[in-house]
């Protein structure tokens, strides 16, 4: 019997009866989530063939994102229908690593707990989880959203370390887009304290003393996911719901900004598509990103107008 708590028992050594052979912890029947029933599947496919979606949207219509800002700067809750994600940014001053003395640090932590959906296991990261974390990393960090050099306060001595935490609260389909949107809006919403450097002395001014400054950002990417279905007569669907996602035969995720720059295009396997079809989808994504950008800008402006920043 091993001494680790049952939750950490890998349960990967199940005996014939489903008990872990080492600690007699009964493995919950986790590995394969219940797949949709045959009638459900047929119903979805036949309605999609008539260009109808179960939630009444058009094929290429996103669920309207709801952005709620918290009392603190850099706290955003983003909801796409019933999919909900919270993103939070905080900054602290650290010493930069010697190989990059002139750049700030950005780290992304994503928490996909079984709370979001019973499909996420708390043990080893599943394939979807790896995909989501890697995509967040590519969209929000590797595409140079935040100007890292602007986060440097004193070369080699002091830089800002931005920590973006993403909590997935509920998964009702298309968690990736929701998480990316929450993350990028949180970065836009965040303001870091003003600093003053005199010689080697660094003074951080409390937000009540001096107005905090927004991060200097190169661009604002948005992620859009399209789902493909095994039958070729069904057209692709934007922002798939959970059922659509599970019954799809491939996802194509495109991250791009309103300036028509692609940051990430990811189509890993799934149904093979004609090159023209992919270019058509990219064209659609360009328009959708512009619309999304407009709504996000409006919401950010609204929120900022409603805030009183005290400066003594």
Summarize as ranges the residues that interact with other proteins (CB under 8 A): 14, 31, 125, 127, 130-131, 133-134, 137-138, 142-144, 219, 249-250, 252, 256, 260-275, 278-279, 282-283, 286
Q: Which two tokens stand for residue 232?
A: 């070729």
Spacing of C-alpha 69 from chain mean position: 16
Residue closer to other proteins (CB basis): 12 or 155: 12
For 270: left if phi > 0, alpha if psi spans -120 to 50, otherwise beta; the answer is left
Residue closer to other proteins (CB basis): 132 or 300: 132
Question: Closest distance between other proteins and the C-beta of residue 78, in Å?
Answer: 23
Residue closer to other proteins (CB basis): 102 or 268: 268
Of 231, 144, 159, 236, nearest to 202 (Cα)? 159
For 43: left if phi > 0, alpha if psi spans -120 to 50, otherwise beta; the answer is alpha
Residue closer to other proteins (CB basis): 38 or 198: 38
Question: Closest distance between other proteins and the C-beta of residue 77, in Å?
Answer: 26
Strand pairing category for 213-214 and 191-192 = antiparallel
Contact 9, 22 (CB under 8 A): yes
Residue closer to other proteins (CB basis): 209 or 261: 261
Locate all alpha helices (DSSP H) within 118-257, ordered by sequence.
127-137, 175-189, 242-247
Residue closer to other proteins (CB basis): 163 or 219: 219
Q: Which two tokens stand for residue 294?
A: 């407009």
Spacing of C-alpha 163 from chain mean position: 14
Question: Closest distance between other proteins and the C-beta of residue 97, in Å?
Answer: 15
Question: Closest distance between other proteins and the C-beta of residue 268, in Å?
Answer: 4
Question: Closest distance between other proteins and the C-beta of residue 154, in Å?
Answer: 23
Residue closer to other proteins (CB basis): 57 or 134: 134
Cα distance between residue 311 and residue 207, in whole Å = 8
Question: Closest distance between other proteins and the C-beta of residue 249, in Å?
Answer: 8
Contact partners, residue 26, CB within 8 Å, separation at least 6: 18, 19, 20
Question: Closest distance between other proteins and the C-beta of residue 27, in Å?
Answer: 9
Q: Which two tokens stand for residue 98?
A: 């010697």
- By CB atoms closer than 10 A (0-12, 13-18, 19+), residue 67 is buried
């Amino acid at each position: 019997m091993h001494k680790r708590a049952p939750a950490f028992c890998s349960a990967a050594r199940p005996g014939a009866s489903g008990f872990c052979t080492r600690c007699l912890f009964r493995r919950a029947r986790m590995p394969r989530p219940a797949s949709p029933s045959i009638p459900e599947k047929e119903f979805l496919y036949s309605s999609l063939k008539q260009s109808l979606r179960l939630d009444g949207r058009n094929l290429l219509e996103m669920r309207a994102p709801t952005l709620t800002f918290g009392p603190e700067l850099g706290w955003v809750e983003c909801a796409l229908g019933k999919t909900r994600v919270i993103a939070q940014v905080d900054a602290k001053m650290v010493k930069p690593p010697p190989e990059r003395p002139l750049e700030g640090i950005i780290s992304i932590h994503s928490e996909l707990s079984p709370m979001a959906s019973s499909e996420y296991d708390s043990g080893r990261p599943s394939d979807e989880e790896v995909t989501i974390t890697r995509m967040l990393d590519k969209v929000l960090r590797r595409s140079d959203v935040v100007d890292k050099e602007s986060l440097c306060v004193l070369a080699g001595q002091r830089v800002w370390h931005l920590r973006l935490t993403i909590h997935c609260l509920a998964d009702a389909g298309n968690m990736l887009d929701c998480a990316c949107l929450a993350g990028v809006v949180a970065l836009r919403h965040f303001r870091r304290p003003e600093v003053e450097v005199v010689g080697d002395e660094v003074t951080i001014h409390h937000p009540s003393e001096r107005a905090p400054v927004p991060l200097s950002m190169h661009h604002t990417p948005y992620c859009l996911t399209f789902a493909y279905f095994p039958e070729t007569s069904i057209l692709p669907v934007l922002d798939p719901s959970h059922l659509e996602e599970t019954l799809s035969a491939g996802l194509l995720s495109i991250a791009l900004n309103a300036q028509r720059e692609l940051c990430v295009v990811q189509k890993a396997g799934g149904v093979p598509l004609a090159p023209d079809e992919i270019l058509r989808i990219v064209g659609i994504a360009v328009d959708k990103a512009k619309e999304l950008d407009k709504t996000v800008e409006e919401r950010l402006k609204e929120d900022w107008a409603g805030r009183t920043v005290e400066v003594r």
